[in-house]
Amino acid sequence: MLTALYIMLGLALTLGVLLGISALLFKVEGDPLVARIDAILPQTQCGQCGYPGCKPYATAIAAGEADINQCPPGGDAGARALADLMGVEYKPLNAEHGVPKPKSVAFIDEATCIGCTLCIQACPVDAILGAAKHMHTIIASECTGCELCLAPCPVDCISMQAIAEQPDNWKWKYPIIPITPMHAQTT
């Protein structure tokens, strides 16, 4: 009777110590859930969700403060992936936060640009190159298409241009068998 008790006590102590050590050894820095949500988000940093960037939105979702359907650039697939990860019911995108648009990049009309640097300060990914009183230009490969540079521009010289389909970004389409109308035989 006592032996069993000692064994159980000993087991409890060893396991407790082991758990304590492993908790110290394998400590995870930060919130892994936030990182996983952040990995799903498209990283446009556009703020359409109502948060100042993708990471803050991810933090809000993890804390249960924000809904999963507030990210238009992520699209329907993004909302589904978030629902999957969070174990909640899928919801269609909330139109209040905007609608999904085709991926585009900003374009600065260099003749109109006055070099005010306001757009440079607005760009969340430092994709605009320029200096005060010098023409600015977009680094197209870094632009996420967040549209945050449009509003601050005092001369409205920035426009969004949809990325055109080219042979190198062209995709094979889902196979669709065309329906051809049958012509009735007239005799």
For other proteins, the binding residues (CB under 8 A) are 38, 41-45, 53-55, 111, 124-127, 133, 142, 144, 165-175, 177
Q: Which is nearer to other proteins, 76 or 156 (CB)?
A: 76
Q: Which is nearer to other proteins, 39 or 88 (CB)?
A: 39
- Taking the complex as a whole, the smallest distance from the CB of residue 177 to other proteins amounts, in Å, to 6
Torsion of CA 159, 162, 166, 170, to 10 degrees: 160
Half-sphere exposure for 12 (CA within 13 Å, toward CB) = 6
Q: Which is nearer to other proteins, 95 or 164 (CB)?
A: 164
The three-state DSSP-derived secondary structure of 164-179 is CCCCCCCCCCCCCCCC
- Taking the complex as a whole, the smallest distance from the CB of residue 23 to other proteins amounts, in Å, to 28
Which residues pair with residue 113 across a beta bridge? none
Q: Which is nearer to other proteins, 66 or 127 (CB)?
A: 127
- Taking the complex as a whole, the smallest distance from the CB of residue 113 to other proteins amounts, in Å, to 13
In angstroms, rounded to a whole number, what is the distance separating the alpha carbons of residues 13 and 8?
9
Q: How many CB atoms lie within 10 A of CB 16?
A: 10
